[in-house]
């Protein structure tokens, strides 16, 4: 499977604005301790943890992300199963959503919002434009 097939096209769950710009998802980011604020460009490839920002984000620190269009918080009430930090969420344009951990260095994330494996496979098929059989 080529990397381009895993490119996520996402939108804000609050205002519906398209947020994927090329290979990045630019979000407003504020360190949870209030010491820094900047645009944080997350990789739009599922499973790629690279990001671009002018902000020094210490490993283990927690970020508060918001939509750059409507400025609403992207934090949800769920916590990361790996480190218990807050999760943020973005809608996938082809259905479902992606949740991601807000702690720098944690790789906790999930596609879906579905508790059923068949629904998860259908979502991945929609993202990759693969027909269901």
φ, ψ for residue 124 (rounded to 5)?
Answer: -60, -40
In a domain, 132, yes or no: no
In a domain, 133, yes or no: no
In a domain, 64, yes or no: yes
Residue 10 burial by CB count (10 A; 0-12/13-18/19+): exposed, middle or buried? Answer: buried
Structural domain including 32 reads: 3-127
* Calpha distance 126→108 (Å, rounded): 22
Per-residue pLDDT of the chain (133 residues; tens, 9 = 90+): 444 447 889 999 999 999 999 999 999 999 999 989 999 999 998 888 899 999 999 999 999 999 999 999 999 998 988 899 999 999 998 888 888 899 999 988 766 654 455 655 666 666 666 665 5
Q: Are strands 86-92 and 109-112 parallel, antiparallel or unpaired?
A: unpaired
Could you give the number of structural domains in the chain? 1
């Amino acid at each position: 499977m080529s990397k381009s097939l895993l490119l996520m096209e996402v939108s804000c769950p609050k205002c519906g604005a398209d947020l994927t710009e090329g290979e990045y998802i630019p979000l407003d980011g504020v360190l949870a301790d209030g010491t820094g604020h900047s645009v944080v460009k997350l990789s739009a490839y599922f499973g790629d943890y690279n990001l671009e920002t002018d902000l020094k984000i210490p490993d283990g620190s927690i970020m508060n992300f918001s939509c750059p269009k409507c400025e609403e918080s992207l934090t949800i009430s769920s916590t990361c199963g790996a480190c218990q930090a807050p999760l943020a969420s973005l809608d996938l344009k082809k259905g479902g959503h992606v949740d991601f951990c807000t702690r720098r260095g944690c790789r906790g994330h999930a596609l879906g919002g579905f508790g059923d494996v068949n629904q998860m496979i259908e979502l991945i098929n929609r993202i990759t434009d693969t027909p269901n059989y």
